Amino acid sequence: MREFLLVFAVIAVLLGLTAIKYRRQLMAMVGFARLLKEAGSASGDLRRKTATASEPNKLVDCDACGVWIPESKVIRKHRRNFCSEACTKA
């Protein structure tokens, strides 16, 4: 019975020590995860904001005549940007 109590006491101490260790790691992980979450949501918001703000207004210049046009209306041919079909032939 004494041996059992001794083993139980040793196991309890080991469990306590590992619990303290695990708690520290868990706290660190929780803190790290919180930081990552905040950073991720912040950058996500930034990305969303820049995406909606810059993409429709992004201007590209025509390689033939130099006119600035919205990227959505650009005609791409041979990796060059053109404002119209006439400029692609020029």
Query: Applying CB under 5 A, which residues contact Zn ion?
Result: 62, 64-65, 67, 83, 87
Closest distance of CB 49 from Zn ion, Å: 31
Cα separation, 40 vs 27, in Å, equals 19
Residue 1 to residue 39: CA distance in whole angstroms: 55
CA-based nearest residue to 60, from 90, 84, 30, 44: 84
Least separation in angstroms between CB 61 and Zn ion: 9
Between 2 and 73, whose beta carbon lies closer to Zn ion?
A: 73
To Zn ion, the closest distance from the beta carbon of 67 in angstroms equals: 5
